[in-house]
Amino acid sequence: MANNSKQNSPNHLDIIEVISTQQALAEHIARLIKIEPRFAPVYEQIGVPDLRRKPEGFEQLMRAMVGQQLSVAAARSIWNKLVAADLTTPERIAKADDEALKSNGLSRQKIRYVRSLVEHNIDFSALATMSDEAVIKTLTAVTGIGRWTAEMYLLFSLGRADVLAVDDLAIKEGARQLLGLEARPTPKQLRDLSQPWSPHRSAASLLLWAHYGWLKDKEAMPV
C-alpha cells in the first residue's frame, strides 16, 4: 500500500502519498482507469510499468544536472570521471577549483549549476515531508534546476503519487494519442485535462511514458 505521513507545518501536506511498491502502483492504475477508462487499453498493452525509483539526495540531483542536454552515453562518461575523481559530494566540490571540475568534463555552465546546488545546502531529508509544491520551490531556487527536473526528483526519488510532468514531450505526445487530440496539448491544457486524474497522476505519467515508448517502437517496426 502507499505510505502516508502527516505534518502540521504550512509547507507540508496533511497527507503525503508515496508509491513505494509495484503493487501500490497497480492499485493507483486501477483507480486511475476508473476515472479515465481510456487508460485501460494502454494498461493491457504494457502492464504495470517499472517504478524506476532512484536514490534521494545531493548526488542524484547533481547527476541530473550533469546529464542535461547530453546523450545518455556522454552523461555516463562524465559522471564516471567525476566519481573517479571523488567530485560528487558538496564537500569535495566546494574544495575543488573550476579547473578540476572542467578537466573532469563539466562545462562552465554546469560548473555554475553544481556550485549553486552546493551553496543552497538543501536539507534532503526534510524534502521527504514537504508538499510537492514546496519541494519544487526549494529545488528550483537552485540555478540549473527547472520545474521538470524537480518533478522528476519528486516522482523517481521521493516516489510521490500525484506528479504529471506536463512539460515533458513524451507525456504530451502520449496524452495526445490517449485522448484523441489533434495537436499536442500545451502544458496548461494538459494540466487542466489531467486534473480529474488526481491523486493518481504519477501512475498516469508512468503509463504515458511507457505508451509513448510502445508507439515509437511500433513506428520503427518494418511493414
Rounded-to-integer distance, Cα 214 and Cα 32, Å: 20
Q: Which pLDDT belongs to residue 215?
A: 73
Sequence spans of domains, the chain: 3-53+162-220, 58-157
86-99 residue pLDDT tens:
999 999 999 999 99
End-to-end CA distance of the chain, in Å? 43
162-173 residue pLDDT tens:
999 999 999 999
Q: Which pLDDT belongs to residue 219?
A: 59
- C-alpha dihedral (86, 89, 90, 96), degrees to nearest 10: 10
Known catalytic residues are 168
Q: Which pLDDT belongs to residue 14?
A: 52
Largest CA distance in the chain: 58
* Fold that domain 3-53+162-220 belongs to in CATH: Endonuclease Iii, domain 2 (1.10.1670)
Helices (H), 121-194: 124-127, 132-140, 147-152, 169-179, 187-194
What string of pLDDT tens digits covers the 223 residues of the chain? Answer: 444 443 344 444 457 899 999 999 999 999 999 999 999 999 999 999 999 999 999 999 999 999 999 999 999 999 999 999 999 999 999 999 999 999 999 999 999 999 999 999 999 999 999 999 999 999 999 999 999 999 999 999 999 999 999 999 999 999 999 999 999 999 999 999 999 999 999 999 999 999 888 777 665 545 4
Q: Is the domain defined by 58-157 classed in CATH 1.10.340.30?
A: yes
On the CB side of 76, CA atoms within 13 Å amount to 3
Query: Which amino acid type is present at position 188?
Result: K
